[in-house]
Amino acid sequence: MTRYLIAGAAGQLGTDLRKALAGRDVTALTRADLDVTDRDAVLAAVAGHDAVINASAYTKVDDAETHEDEAYAINALGTENLAVAAARNEARFVTLSTDYVFDGHATTPYAEDTPRDPINAYGRTKAAGEELALAAHPDGTYVVRTAWLYGAGGANFAKTMVKLAASHETVSVVDDQLGQPTWTGDLAAQIVALLDADAPAGVYHGTNAGETSWYGFARAVFAQAGLDPERVKPTDSATFVRPAPRPSYSVLGHDGWSRAGLSPMRPWEDALAAAAAEGLFAE
């Protein structure tokens, strides 16, 4: 029987990974349980496991601009520690990465082998984590890049929109950034399918299919939550200047799945409807 270890098990993806692996032999470790920056602690925790999933991350994108060392310790060195530990145990290693490893200036979906060119500190630390993991455990590492995550187990854009609707007649959302809203429930199931299929190691893009803007996503969230989508108003990025630059185009291509004999994830609209039906907006 495969023994799984999840690092970062308390986050919204970690929560859905635990559900997706229900009934299996799983060690679920939160940040309090395992400091991924501690190599010795990581080696001890991973011992005896056959598959390691790294859902831990420093995700405060704006704070990373002034705390890049802290972000690097978790996103790069922590990822490397887990990859080294997995290699020593001959375990497969899945680490989550991000669309932010790209420059955000493309006009067609980014292929898995597009050269990394991050535009902010967070992206640099995640790109470094990819490189270190693939170098430490080349035959057993799966880099799964994702984006625009939302799920029931944490704070996210979709839930924020519904909260704002309770106190604002209208909400303004940028319509000049394109990406792929991705439900953690679907992503967790895809990661489990990847491991179950014993797919080739390498880079995969774990996002729901299709594309939209944050404005389009917000309108869809309102509709699924039983709110009037007309209350969402379009604006542009110049209205919301933040410390870390955001990519204007974050659509990821999915050819890696078909090469591995697996189906890519379903359209984002279908995933959002399923997430809502499973209680995404229930508090």
Four-residue CA torsion sign, 173, 237, 243, 12: positive
Catalytic residue IDs: 122
* Token reading at 154: 């944490």
For 73-84, b where at least 16 C-beta lie within 10 A, e where not — what string?
A: bbbbbbbbbbbb
Radius of gyration of the chain (CA): 18
User: What is residue 200's DSSP assignment?
Assistant: P
Contact of 177 with 147, CB cutoff 8 Å: no
Which pairing describes strands 182-183 and 92-98: parallel, antiparallel, or unpaired? unpaired
Q: Is 263 exposed, middle or buried (0-12, 13-18, 19+ CB in 10 A)?
A: exposed
Task: Single out the residue of 76, 18, 79 nearest to residue 46, CA to CA.
Answer: 79
